[in-house]
Structure 1
Amino acid sequence: MQSLCKVFIGIWYALSISLSFNAHGKDRIVLTSLNWEPYIGRSLPNMGYSYELINEALKVNHYSLEIIFLSWERAIELARKGHTDGMFPAYYSKKREKDFIFSSPIPGGPVGFYSRTDNNYRFASDPRENFAQAIEPLKKLTFGVVEGYVNYAPFDEAAYLKKRYTTSDDLNIKRLFKKQVDIIFIDKYVAQYIITKKYPWYSLELEFINPALEIKKLHIAFSRKAKHHQTFIEAFNKGLEHITRNGMVAEILLKHGF
C-alpha cells in the first residue's frame, strides 16, 4: 500500500510540473529553481529576497512569475530544453551562453572554501591574484563540489585538483563534517544558513577560509529555446532598473537581512 501511494504521489508531481510547463505563455514566466536558502526557498518569507526582487521587477511590466523547485541539475536541463522560460538564480557562465541569455544581475554573495577548523587550512597567498600559487598547500586534498554548479572559474578549470561531486550544498556540508572530503566550495551565506538552521553543532567545527574568492552576482538565465525569451529578458531588465531607481531593491535587501 505504501509503495502504491508513492507511485500515485510521483504521478501527481509529474503531472503538476507538466501542466506548469504547458501553461507558461506571454504574460506568465515559469522558471526552474532550487531551494537555496537564504537566497530562495519555499520556507523563506516571500520565498526569499531573490524571488521577491525578481517578482517585483517583473510586476513593473505586468508579468506574473511561477517557480518550480527541483534539483539543480534537473532545473538546468528542463530550462535548457525550453520546457520552462529559464532558471534562477544562476551565476554567469560563458559556456552556458549557447543555451541561455543572462539577465542584468542582482546582488549575490561571497563564495569560496569551507574546511574543518581542526585542519587549519590556509592559502599560500591571495587566491584572487594567482589561484594556482595560492592553492599549492591544498592541492593534494579532496574538494567537495555540487554537481551542475558554476563555481569560480580558476577552480572549475583546475583539472589537477581532486573533486568529489554531490547533489546539494547540504550534503556537501555533511560530508565535510564527517571528514569524507577535506574542503568544499560553497557560497558563504548558504553555508552559514545551513549550519545555523540545521546543524548548529557544526558551527565550532567548520570555518570559511578567507579571503572569499569572488563576490558573485545572480541572474535569470532565460532559455534560448523558450518562445518569448527576448521579450521576457527586456521586461525583467527594465523592471529591475525601475525598482533599483525607486529604492525598492534596497528595501527588499534590508527586509531580508542582506
Structure 2
Amino acid sequence: MSPAIKWVLNIVAFLAFSASPAAASEPLTLVADEWPPFSGSELPGQGLSMDVTRAVLERAGYDVKTAILPWARVMNGARTGEYDIITSLPPSDDLEELLNYSEPFYSTEVKFIQQKGGDIAFRGIESLRPYSIAVAAGFVYSTEFDNADFLNKFEVTTTLQGIRMVAAAHIDLTLDSVDVLRHSILREDPSLGDRIAFLEPALTTQSIHMGVSTFRSDHATIVSDFNRVLRDMQADGSFAELLDKHNVN
C-alpha cells in the first residue's frame, strides 16, 4: 500500500470516528423522577425506563450519564435545557415545546382503586363527582380527568400513601399506572393487595417515552437514532430481555 493511499485511509477512519455520536459530544445527561417500576434510584438499572433508554442510546453510540431527581427539579431542568434527555414520560402538553418525544417503548393502563368490597362504579369522569380521590401532585393522568376541576381531588406525596388511604377508607379512590400500583403494593406492603380492588374500565392507556431537550440543536438526530435502534432491539429480542429483567414482559 502506498503512503498516499494509507494516508487517505487514515483520514477517512478519523473522520468516521469523529462523526460518531459518542465522539462528537459530551455524555448525554439522562434523568427521571422516582416513579417505580419505571424509574427509581434503588431499582435494577434505575428502573425500566432508565434501563431501556440508556441501553438504546448506548447501542446507538452515545455516552450516557444518569440521575434520579425530584420531579420539580426535572421539570425545572426541562424548562432551562439543563438536562439532555428525560425519560419515564407519558405525553404532556406542558412539555411538548420543550422536548422532542421518541416513539413509545412501553404502555401502561391507568386505573382507579377502591377499598375491597366497595360499590363504586366508574362510568366516566362525571360518575366520580361524589367521591374523594387521592392524586399525586404534578402527575399527568388524562386530559379530561386532569381538567375536571369539579372533582374532589386530594394531593398525596406518593402512590403508596394514596393506596393506604383507600385501604383504610380515609379516601374513596386513588389512581395510577397499574404497573406502579402493583409494584408499590408488592414492594412496600403486600397485605394491601387484599384490601383494595381495581375499577374497570381503565381511565386511559398511557404510552411511555423519552424526550430530548429542544434546546439541543441535534435533538431530532438523537430521537431518530433512538427510534431506529429501539426497533432493531425489538426485532432481535434484546428489548424483550430488558423487559424480562424488570418483570413486566
- TM-score > 0.5 by shorter chain: yes
Cα offset, 1:84, TM superposition:
0.7
Q: CA deviation at 1:251?
A: 2.2
Match of 1:245 in 2: 235
Q: Residue in 1 aligned with 2:29? A: 30
Please, which runs of 5 or more residues in structure 1 have no aligned partner? 1-24, 125-130
CA contact (8 A) 1:145 1:164 kept: yes
Aligned to 1:160: 150
Separation of aligned partners in 2, 1:211 and 1:227: 42
**Aligned match of 1:181 in 171, 178, 186?**
171
Q: 1:166 to 1:225 in 2, by over 3 A?
A: farther
Q: 1:144 aligns to what? A: 134
Aligned to 1:199: 189
CA contact (8 A) 2:112 2:176 kept: yes
The residue type equivalent to 2:70 in the other structure is S
**Contact 1:32-1:76 within 8 A present in 2 as well:** no
Corresponding residue of 1:105 = 104
Higher alpha-carbon Rg: 2
Partner of 1:224: 214
Deviation of 1:105 (Å): 0.6
Task: Specify the SS of the correspondent of 1:212.
Answer: coil
Comparing 69-78 and 166-175, the one that deviates more? 166-175
Cα deviation code 1:193-245 (max 9, x no counterpart): 11111112212111211222222211112222245423322221222122122
Question: 1:223 and 1:181 mapped to 2: Cα distance?
Answer: 38
Q: Give secondary structure in 1 for the equivalent of 2:203.
A: strand
Do 2:53 and 2:87's aligned partners in 1 also have CA atoms closer than 8 Å?
no
TM-score, scaled relative to structure 2: 0.81
1:66 paired with 2:65, answer yes
1:168–1:222 CA distance, 2 compared to 1 (3 A): farther
Which aligned segments of 4 or more residues in structure 1 are displaced greater than 4 angstroms?
none
- Give the distance between the partners of 2:174 and 2:154, measured in 1 at CA: 9
RMSD (Å) for aligned C-alpha atoms: 2.1
Q: CA deviation at 1:27?
A: 4.6
Scaled by the length of structure 1, the TM-score of the pair is: 0.79
Q: Does the Cα contact within 8 Å between 1:141 and 1:183 map onto a contact in 2?
A: yes
Q: Quick one: which amino acid aligns to residue 77 of structure 2?
A: L
